[in-house]
Structure 1
Amino acid sequence: MASTRKNDKDQPLIDDIRLLGRILGDVIREQEGAAAFDLIEQVRQLSVAFRRDADHEADRALKKLLKGLSADQTVSVIRAFTYFSHLANLAEDRHHIRRRTIRERAGDTQEGSIDVALARLRWAGIAPSTVAQTLAGSYVSPVLTAHPTEVQRKSILDAERAIAKLLAERGDLAERAQLYNSARDALTPRELASNEAQLRARVTQLWQTRLLRYSKLTVADEIENALSYYEATFLREIPKIYAELEQSLGQGSVASFLRMGQWIGGDRDGNPNVGADTLVQALRRQSEVALRHYLTEVHLLGAELSLSARLVEVSSDMQRLAESSPDTSEHRQDEPYRRALTGIYARLAATLAELSGGQAARHAVAPQNAYPHAQEFLAELRTIEQSLATHHGEALGAQRLHPLIRAVEVFGFHLATVDLRQSSDQHERVLTELLAT
């Protein structure tokens, strides 16, 4: 029975791996021909026979087969099994998320989760208020480092993220199908075909994309690779961690004790190509990534906060913020939040140009002064937050405004601190020169 339950639990993972493996096989057959596919399949079958059944005859046959491969055949085999490993990892990641969701729905807590950690503190007699106070006096800074020999190409990462998203969508569609008909655990043929066609396109993209770079990574490449994780993950997920922590503690706002750091662009000790120019480049690009995220969120907030002053009151500070906006459209004169956000967007656009030289994706309605620092931007967002909370609009800020405020607290206009690493003998030279004067 235990084995059956385990198989039931892992069946979605097995199904996903089989799906991705089948698509990869189809792509290889289509792109490289039946002979290449048959060779790769033969390698796979012999490997499985040796690994699963300890078949030593299969081991000998496999070694003989591999030794006889041409250079082109070797490359095809390596690429096929590399991509299969990548796809299997994506399926496993998706399965972990699926299992965590199932446990959360059942009310089960997971080892390593915030809920389990806080529960243990409560059992030890430590009150939530004490935890919140301790966090307020803490500083946690995960630091991203550069390891050029381990960095995957961004093109590969982007394609794999798209595949992961399609797997998640496939799971969501299957779940909805079950809700509509508990006896039917399947997608409609049209949904299946559409999802699989998109998966096939992304796997084809992978197969036709180089796994390795032909040129050595530059510091600029390392900077861009690190920034891609902020864009894809940190800017959105870290505010969610804070929200989960606040909900679990039940103590209101938790201080922003968790902030990101990195030494890419400032590691003069580990990379001889790092200098003043790379540090400037890192800081400019970091500011650009943070500000572009804020610009997008402010634009989307403007679409959401369409509240009319004819229907709901606003605070006096909120009204002043709206009146300071360059937005004079007669269509929005009774929409103070939108007017205020139009002005905020214009100031962010000016800040982007000043700090990074970049241009906002959407034109500001009129030129405005840049923010001198992130705290002023944060203060204006809090004005909106307080006005909403005071006038029965708190729910309107929970989905986008609150995460944006937390992001600004955590990332500011700099995104992350940059560690300046330097050999100690260089520090000695500088100190000697300074003290000599």
Structure 2
Amino acid sequence: MARLPKLTRFNDNVLSKYQIYNSIFMTLPFDTISNTGVLLPLFHEICKNGFDNGNNPTEIVDLFFQKYQENPSDQNKKDLLFLFIQYIERQVVLFDAIEDAAFPIVNNMDGIGTLRNSKEIAILNEKKEELKKHLEDFKVRIVLTAHPTQFYPGSVLGIITDLDKAIQNDDLLLIKKLLAQLGKTPFYKKAKPTPYDEAISLIWYLENVFYHSISKIYNYVQQHIYDGEPLENEIIDLGFWPGGDRDGNPFVTTKITLDVAERLRQSILRSYYGDVKRLKRRFTFDGVQEILAKVEKRLYKHVVRSYKKVNFSQKILLSELEAAREIVKTKHNSLFIEELNDFINKVRIFGFHFATLDIRQDSRVHHKAFTQIVDDLAADGDTTFPKNYHHLSEDEQILILSLVKGNIDPKILSDEMSVKTIESIYALKTIQARNGERGANRYIISNNQSALNVMQTFAMLNLCGFENELPVDVIPLFETVDDLENSSDVMRTLYSNQAYRYHLTKRKNKQTIMLGFSDGTKDGGYLMANWGIFKAKEALTKISREFDIEVIFFDGRGGPPARGGGKTHQFYASLGPTIEDKEIQLTIQGQTISSNFGTLNSSQFNLEQLISSGIKNEVFTKDQLNDKHREIIEDLADTSYKTYVNFKNHPQFLPYLEKMSTLKYYAKTNIGSRPSKRSNSDTLDFSALRAIPFVGSWSQLKQNVPGFFGVGTALKKYEEAGRFDEIIEFYNASDFFKTLLENSMMSLTKSFFGLTAYMADDSVFGEFWKLIFKEYETTKRLFLKLTGDQELMENFPIGKASIEMRENIVLPLLTIQQYALKQIQDLQKTDGNIKEIEVYEKMVMRSLFGNINASRNSA
């Protein structure tokens, strides 16, 4: 039977089902006011028509109450708006669950970018041996971070999972019950989560999704590409930040780091225990049964209790399982051996750590802590550092730092941050002893500006009594435009240092370097951040190859394109031979986890897409920029950067964000353990502002500035010079440039200036709003001219349809949010309205949740 077009499959299995289940949902009574479900569609219609007619959010809300309510009191109005928010939040969840359920129907699980497809192409092109060779050392590392970009508590995630299954089974009765449950389950957290709470919620994904999808992919590679032969490479690694990421998070303590590592260990052993119980039902044969019973007993012991002394490890467990496998093979005709192989593969992949817990801290914090450590050691009579250390040049300090060894006692340190820093390194040692070296073997230095930043961390690690070689990778994170430009000089200094170079030989001659899209975009704008990172990767590849070091790039990517998200696998597939690509490492967070990796199907599909992007780049094609293209993108990035920096330096820039957006409300929501800015200052300081609330606030305004501002002006320069055909040629010739602009188009598609058009008349911010709108219109016009399309994202009908539906669902929510913000502004003009203002502030915060959750397909 012919397969229906993808858009038809989406319309039939997502949009149509949503209409049906939503109509059921709207009739369910969740509260005393039974007509909320009747009134919401009417409000939605008034919002839609209102914006089409150029009305502002306040006029729209007022019109609704005039038309459908008889003289409602102020309290009744507020109550109904809060109820609307509750309903819309749940409509978003319903749409999520339907989209998840339809994932394998809408997406071809064996199509382009899947492993089956890559294998078939390799065989067709007689490149199977090349493919095998590539997969011997190619890796994808997915690092789960707790950055707060999603607001679902665990109870709601559970309902989404159950709804997904019920929808797949068309179980109408269960769907109805689950929708009723959803209506009564609170969505917002009454208290701020701790980093440990964040870890628990992400471990849910490890146990319920990654444990199964990763092993399934590994088994496929082993059976169909390696023909059943053993494969030494794990192919997919997992990383984990909650509990280890100290950057700007005062709530991450050493105890929490150790507790999270222990929870990871317990979680993987519990998963193994469940598998062994299942295997025992199959392997009821002599010799094998005894081994599995012994393994089950040991796992149970270590799951139930956390022993101080560890006498059980991945190595011991594997040797037991290999012995069982040999008996099955030689004495029992390999009966059910695939199931045992699957379990052995899981133990190889996940070890006793499940996911590697990364430690991260800001270089500025380190510098301060390290300076104090030097002083405290001197005060204690220690001669590790010369008395004049602080007065030496950077080169002289680096030389001393490279030779430092010791076993520092945190008790002699006088400064709290120094104690915490040293304790976190000792925690690393403890975790390695319990979970294996892969339990925690990476130390990331954010905001890394110099070689000295890396060497201070290197010295602190060496001061903590590691025997012989240091089993930890020191990873600099380059974020700002300037730091990206200087990154290759920093690495040259490090590679030239004898002690650091020796350390790298003991780390298999590999150096991981992290690059931050979020702060890069916030600092330099969309084009400059992406091009700056591309150039930095080229320069870092060149310098690393010069020193015979394999550089591994770790990308700090967020959900929306403005933070390095968008179609990530297409980005990796478009990198040329000038960028090292033996491993793909990236952070995923918030709605990116739930949308791209939230179910077994989506997780398997998206992991395979990432693996295949590496295969495409390495085995099949190499997309290389020529000199002319380089000149163009350099010029575009430069123009865009100047435009963005001028915009950022506009006197209204920070006041606009502070007064007209939801920026300050991010700090008040209880979604993440981390503060929304790095300093405690009451005044808004751009450099201390975190990228997530920054990008998120533009997103809530439906202006998505970080994803496009400056791009239109850069393209217009070529149009005015009569050189736009060069841009068209470049766009059609380069996958890199195409993906870059297509991700920016996604930011534009999610913009809706009709929502805030009323700001054009504001006496203070009117001209500033018009400036943003003008750049949006220029960018949109030139994107359509470039692609020859009538509307944005015409070539991505599924993504476009999904975005349109989500934007449609949250239109009333956005209207309520803008209405509440305007009420706050008006109430602040006179005194005595504190109570009233608090109610509207709560309305703004509550509407934040649904808007962010609805944007899940931004990644």
Q: TM-score range by the shorter chain?
A: 0.7 to 0.9
1:82 paired to 2:89: yes
How far the C-alpha of 1:87 sits from its partner, in A, is: 0.9
Alignment equivalent of 1:378, drawn from 291, 311, 318 = 318
1:401 paired to 2:408: no
How far the C-alpha of 1:43 sits from its partner, in A, is: 1.9
In 2, the alpha carbon distance for the partners of 1:151 and 1:395 equals 47
> 1:302 is matched by which residue type in structure 2?
K
Q: Secondary structure at the match of 2:236?
A: coil
**Is contact 1:286–1:416 with CA below 8 Å preserved after alignment?**
yes
> Which one is further off, 34-43 or 57-66?
57-66
Counterpart position of 2:43: 43
In 1, the alpha carbon distance for the partners of 2:143 and 2:6 equals 41
Kindly report which structure 2 residues correspond to 1:11-30, keeping only aligned pairs within 5 A, or say none: 11-27=12-28, 29=29
1:226 paired to 2:202: yes
Alignment equivalent of 1:98, drawn from 92, 96, 105 = 105
> 1:410 is matched by which residue type in structure 2?
I
Q: Secondary structure at the match of 2:111?
A: coil
Considering fraction of residues, name the structure with more strand: 2
**Is contact 1:266–1:419 with CA below 8 Å preserved after alignment?**
yes
- Superposed CA offset, 1:182-209 (max 9, x none): xxxxxxxxxxxxx222212211111111
Q: Secondary structure at the match of 1:143?
A: strand
- Superposed CA offset, 1:133-183 (max 9, x none): 33222343211111135342001101111101111223xxxxxxxxxxxxx
In 2, the alpha carbon distance for the partners of 1:3 and 1:302 equals 44
> 1:23 is matched by which residue type in structure 2?
I
The 1:70/1:258 distance shift into structure 2, 3 A limit, reads same
How far the C-alpha of 1:370 sits from its partner, in A, is: 6.8
**Is contact 2:215–2:346 with CA below 8 Å preserved after alignment?**
yes
How far the C-alpha of 1:55 sits from its partner, in A, is: 6.9
Alignment equivalent of 1:344, drawn from 282, 295, 307 = 295
Q: Secondary structure at the match of 1:147?
A: coil
The 1:71/1:373 distance shift into structure 2, 3 A limit, reads same
Following TM superposition, where does structure 1 have runs of at least 4 consecutive aligned residues deviating by more than 4 angstroms? Answer: 2-9, 47-51, 54-63, 66-69, 119-125, 425-431
1:64 paired to 2:15: no
Counterpart position of 1:147: 147
Q: Secondary structure at the match of 1:112?
A: coil
In 2, the alpha carbon distance for the partners of 1:74 and 1:356 equals 53
Kindly report which structure 2 residues correspond to 1:268-287, keeping only aligned pairs within 5 A, or say none: 268-287=246-265
What residue ranges of structure 1 are gaps of 5+ in the alignment?
171-194, 310-318, 320-336, 358-368
The share of aligned pairs that are identical, in percent, is 21
- Superposed CA offset, 1:387-408 (max 9, x none): 223345435132x422221211
Q: Secondary structure at the match of 2:359?
A: coil
In 1, the alpha carbon distance for the partners of 2:7 and 2:195 equals 46
Q: Secondary structure at the match of 1:77?
A: helix
> 2:180 is matched by which residue type in structure 1?
T
In 2, the alpha carbon distance for the partners of 1:286 and 1:5 equals 39
Counterpart position of 1:304: 282
In 1, the alpha carbon distance for the partners of 2:37 and 2:299 equals 53
Q: Secondary structure at the match of 2:35?
A: helix
Q: Secondary structure at the match of 1:142?
A: strand
Counterpart position of 1:110: 111
Kindly report which structure 2 residues correspond to 1:287-302, keeping only aligned pairs within 5 A, or say none: 287-302=265-280
**Is contact 1:148–1:222 with CA below 8 Å preserved after alignment?**
no
The 1:153/1:118 distance shift into structure 2, 3 A limit, reads same
Counterpart position of 2:164: 164
How far the C-alpha of 1:50 sits from its partner, in A, is: 6.9
Counterpart position of 1:328: none
> 1:99 is matched by which residue type in structure 2?
V
In 2, the alpha carbon distance for the partners of 1:279 and 1:5 equals 45
The 1:200/1:16 distance shift into structure 2, 3 A limit, reads same
When the two chains are superposed, the root-mean-square deviation of aligned CA atoms in Å is 3.3
**Is contact 2:239–2:358 with CA below 8 Å preserved after alignment?**
yes
In 2, the alpha carbon distance for the partners of 1:63 and 1:21 equals 26
How far the C-alpha of 1:277 sits from its partner, in A, is: 0.5
How far the C-alpha of 1:295 sits from its partner, in A, is: 0.8
**Is contact 1:348–1:371 with CA below 8 Å preserved after alignment?**
no
**Is contact 2:96–2:160 with CA below 8 Å preserved after alignment?**
no
Kindly report which structure 2 residues correspond to 1:126-141, keeping only aligned pairs within 5 A, or say none: 126=127, 128-141=128-141
**Is contact 2:237–2:355 with CA below 8 Å preserved after alignment?**
yes
The 1:415/1:199 distance shift into structure 2, 3 A limit, reads same
Q: Secondary structure at the match of 1:150?
A: coil
What residue ranges of structure 2 are gaps of 5+ in the alignment?
67-71, 386-405, 407-859
- Superposed CA offset, 1:321-380 (max 9, x none): xxxxxxxxxxxxxxxx333222111111223345479xxxxxxxxxxx975311111121
> Which one is further off, 91-100 or 410-419?
91-100
The 1:355/1:137 distance shift into structure 2, 3 A limit, reads farther
In 2, the alpha carbon distance for the partners of 1:273 and 1:220 equals 10
**Is contact 1:153–1:211 with CA below 8 Å preserved after alignment?**
yes
In 1, the alpha carbon distance for the partners of 2:335 and 2:40 equals 55
How far the C-alpha of 1:95 sits from its partner, in A, is: 1.8
Q: Secondary structure at the match of 2:113?
A: coil
- TM-score scaled by structure 1? 0.73
How far the C-alpha of 1:227 sits from its partner, in A, is: 0.7
The 1:8/1:241 distance shift into structure 2, 3 A limit, reads closer
Counterpart position of 1:331: none
How far the C-alpha of 1:218 sits from its partner, in A, is: 0.9
Kindly report which structure 2 residues correspond to 1:185-204, keeping only aligned pairs within 5 A, or say none: 195-204=171-180
- Superposed CA offset, 1:40-59 (max 9, x none): 121234456679xx577999
Alignment equivalent of 2:353, drawn from 414, 426, 432 = 414
Q: Secondary structure at the match of 2:191?
A: coil
User: What number of residue pairs does the alignment pair up?
Assistant: 363
**Is contact 2:265–2:353 with CA below 8 Å preserved after alignment?**
yes
In 1, the alpha carbon distance for the partners of 2:307 and 2:25 equals 42
The 1:341/1:266 distance shift into structure 2, 3 A limit, reads same
**Is contact 1:348–1:370 with CA below 8 Å preserved after alignment?**
no
The 1:352/1:35 distance shift into structure 2, 3 A limit, reads closer
Kindly report which structure 2 residues correspond to 1:1-12, keeping only aligned pairs within 5 A, or say none: 7=8, 10-12=11-13
**Is contact 1:351–1:370 with CA below 8 Å preserved after alignment?**
no
> 1:380 is matched by which residue type in structure 2?
E
Kindly report which structure 2 residues correspond to 1:252-263, keeping only aligned pairs within 5 A, or say none: 252=228, 253-254=230-231, 255-263=233-241
The 1:395/1:222 distance shift into structure 2, 3 A limit, reads same
**Is contact 1:354–1:370 with CA below 8 Å preserved after alignment?**
no
The 1:5/1:338 distance shift into structure 2, 3 A limit, reads closer
**Is contact 2:26–2:38 with CA below 8 Å preserved after alignment?**
no
> 1:404 is matched by which residue type in structure 2?
F
